[in-house]
């Protein structure tokens, strides 16, 4: 997995961010979601490298091999703003002042915040299978709450969800991975799944994921509500699983239309975890989008 990629860790503020990287050309930063790690991109990143891009896949704060600092009072250090600052710091440390940005699930929420807070750094942004946090948390219809129950379980005060998950991590995380949007074990590469599973058995990573969701309710919702009306200024690609819960619950292109200056929205076969189940299609969409938004990088 990630054959030919270099791996490293960069200290950014109070934590370290783990990454793998390969290739030459315009830089692309790829951010995973829950309950996964940077291994999500193991079959997509090499395709982009082959097409002439410098690809960096990073673990979010609290996930995978990245640092997992203790949550501070108020949870601001697990907010999407803090995670976005981590990733911006990583890219600056690697010598990339501007880059294409790709995120799935939680990584897409970090990407959205990074694109809003640091538009000069983002040449293009791809958001995969999310609606804005403010939409998720202010539109709690029965079907939304039933599909996204984990938002509220994981956000419960420590250590309740941590202890419940630690009792049987595979049961919990497999319910998430295989229970959302038409995915089954057969849809996941065995080596990638093993990498996810290793993270599931790390008590600090369990806590990191919980802190991520706690911060969504405690910090990120207020941040998004305070900035209603702001648009991403960089070109945006919205990808979503054609048979996933998001597509069934929301009109994703319409949801993002008034939050982006330039938008291209495409459905991909599969459910929420279509980067795992349809990596070839995802690679093609990304390559086509990047080629329309090339930039002079330093």
Q: What amino acid positions are annotated as catalytic residues?
A: 105, 272
**Torsions phi, psi for 26 (to 5 deg):** -60, 135
Cα–Cα distance measured from residue 180 to residue 182, given in angstroms and rounded to the nearest whole number? 6
Query: What's the gap between Cα 166 and its chain centre?
Result: 23
The torsion defined by the Cα of 106, 109, 113 and 116, in degrees rounded to 10, comes to 150
Cα–Cα distance measured from residue 144 to residue 116, given in angstroms and rounded to the nearest whole number? 26
The torsion defined by the Cα of 165, 170, 175 and 177, in degrees rounded to 10, comes to 110
Structural contact between residues 278 and 128, judged by C-beta atoms closer than 8 angstroms: no
Beta strand extents in 197-246 (DSSP E only): 236-241
Q: Which residues contact 47 (CB under 8 A, 6 or more apart)?
A: 279, 280, 283, 287
DSSP secondary structure of 263-286: EEEEEESSSTTHHHH-HHHHHHHH
Cα–Cα distance measured from residue 217 to residue 80, given in angstroms and rounded to the nearest whole number? 11
Counting every residue, how long is the chain? 298
Structural contact between residues 239 and 270, judged by C-beta atoms closer than 8 angstroms: no
DSSP secondary structure of 138-204: H---HHHHHHTTHHHHHTSPTTHHHHHHHT-HHHHHHHHHHHSTT--GGGS-HHHHHHHHHHHT-HH
């Amino acid at each position: 997995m990630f054959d030919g990629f270099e791996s490293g860790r960069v200290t950014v503020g109070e934590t370290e961010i783990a990454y793998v990287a390969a290739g030459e050309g315009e830089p692309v930063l790829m951010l995973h979601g829950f309950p996964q790690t940077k291994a999500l991109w193991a079959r997509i990143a090499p395709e982009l490298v082959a097409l002439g891009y410098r690809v960096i896949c990073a673990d979010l704060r609290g996930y995978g091999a990245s640092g997992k600092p203790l949550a501070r009072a108020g949870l601001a250090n697990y907010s999407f703003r803090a995670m976005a600052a981590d990733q911006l710091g990583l890219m600056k440390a690697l010598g990339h002042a501007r880059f294409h940005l790709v995120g799935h699930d939680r990584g897409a929420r970090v990407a959205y915040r990074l694109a809003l807070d640091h538009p000069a750094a983002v040449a293009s942004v791809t958001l995969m299978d999310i609606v804005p946090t403010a939409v998720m948390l202010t539109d709690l219809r029965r079907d939304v709450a039933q599909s996204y129950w984990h938002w509220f379980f994981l956000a419960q005060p420590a250590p309740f969800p941590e202890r419940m998950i630690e009792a049987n991590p595979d049961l919990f995380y497999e319910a998430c991975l295989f229970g959302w949007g038409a995915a089954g074990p057969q849809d996941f590469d065995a080596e990638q799944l093993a990498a996810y599973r290793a993270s599931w058995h790390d008590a600090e990573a369990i806590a990191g994921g919980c802190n991520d969701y706690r911060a969504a309710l405690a910090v990120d919702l207020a941040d998004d509500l305070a900035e209603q009306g702001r648009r991403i200024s960089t070109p945006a690609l919205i990808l979503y699983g054609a048979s996933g819960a998001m597509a069934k619950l929301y009109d994703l292109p319409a949801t993002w239309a008034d939050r982006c200056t330039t938008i291209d929205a495409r459905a991909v076969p599969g459910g929420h975890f279509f980067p795992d189940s349809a990596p070839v299609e995802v690679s093609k969409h990304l390559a086509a989008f990047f080629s329309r938004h090339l930039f002079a990088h330093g």
